[in-house]
Amino acid sequence: MRFMRRSGLLAVAAAGILALGGCSSSGGKKSEEKATTGSGGPRLKVAMVTHSGPGDTFWDIVQKGAKAAAAKDNVDFLYSADPDGGKQAQLVQTAIDQKVDGIVVTLAKPDALKDVIAKATAAKIPVVSINSGAEVSAQLGAVAHFGQDESVAGEAAGTQLAKSGAKKALCVIHEQGNVGLEARCAGAKKTFGGDMQNLFVQGTNMPQVKSSITAKLQADKSIDGILTLNAAVAATAADSAKEASSKAKIATFDMNKDLVAQLKAGTVEFAVDQQPYLQGYEGVDAIWLLKNNGNVLGGGKPVLTGPAIVTKDTAASIEQFANAGTR
């Protein structure tokens, strides 16, 4: 009798534990889903304003990352872009006027944006910078920056290009006044060891880019290396080398799926990957984290997303992601 009563008590206790466990499991799952989807707080509106837009494969990848974070965080994501610094500033002002909850911005031309960023911070709209302007981001009032250190990335590229055996190279800058691109070339020149000259081209006009590079290669047969600063210009440089009957080795910054094929084929020696998907994703997610939990990444310092050197030997490892448009 005593045994039966004790067994009954154990059964009741076990049932209670199971019931509590069921509640805990259900509550935990719901809480986790709530946090994951971002539905735990009010729907936020975040604007991203960059210096380059749709049609550029690099910025398409940035947007994919940003949209993925926005979907996860229940964020209304607004995107706009203009390569002209003054017009980019106007787009930031439009975002301020729309009373967005946060602004993600590139600082390729920081002097053109400093006043409008000050207006955003005065309106208590948090600003996060991505991609360019790491060295001035905190100074201008941004709470965080996501990107690579362009000088360090340039130094890595210069070292890698020297390893390929090149002695005289061109560093092709496709957007004049872009401080990030200029820092890349300056860093590369520092570590290259040979002769490296900057060549300025109009990146929005690929026929002009091709003719400029071709003319340089035809005029100076000793040029044996070309460092471009985005994947599209790299493909054009490869065409120029072929047209000029030049054996100059082509290297570049930034990735896309076409470039992976060129790396595997040996048309391009290497690429410096700064992981643009991460920049877009973290830019939006940083605003959500700040607004919902007071979190700030980086401790006032840039959060680095690169550089990573991708070569013929390593291109296959990221090919599936590049084909999906996220690398």
Determine the pLDDT at residue 177: 87
Q: pTM of the predicted model, to two decimals?
A: 0.81
Determine the pLDDT at residue 40: 56
What is the rounded CA–CA span in Å between residue 221 and residue 31?
65
Say which amino acid occupies 202.
Answer: Q
SS3 273: strand
Strands 44-50 and 102-106: parallel
What is the rounded CA–CA span in Å between residue 248 and residue 246?
5
Domains of the chain in start order, with CATH, are 44-148+276-296 (3.40.50.2300), 150-273 (3.40.50.2300)
What is the rounded CA–CA span in Å between residue 243 and residue 237?
10
Apex 148 CA angle, 327 and 233, nearest 5: 60
Tokens at 129, concatenated? 């910078």
Would you put residue 160 in left (φ > 0), alpha (ψ -120 to 50) or beta? alpha
Say which amino acid occupies 102.
Answer: G
Q: What tens-digit pLDDT sequence spans the chain (327 residues)?
A: 433 443 443 343 333 333 333 333 334 444 344 444 454 567 999 999 999 866 788 999 999 999 999 999 999 999 999 999 999 999 999 999 999 999 999 999 999 999 999 999 999 999 999 999 999 999 999 999 999 999 999 999 999 999 999 999 999 999 988 999 999 999 999 999 999 999 999 988 999 999 999 999 999 999 999 999 999 999 999 999 999 999 999 999 998 889 999 999 999 999 999 999 999 999 999 999 999 999 999 999 999 999 999 999 999 999 999 999 999
Determine the pLDDT at residue 28: 42
Residue 214: CB atoms within 10 A of its CB come to 19
Determine the pLDDT at residue 41: 66
Determine the pLDDT at residue 46: 98
Integer Rg of the chain from CA: 25
Strands 308-311 and 303-304: unpaired
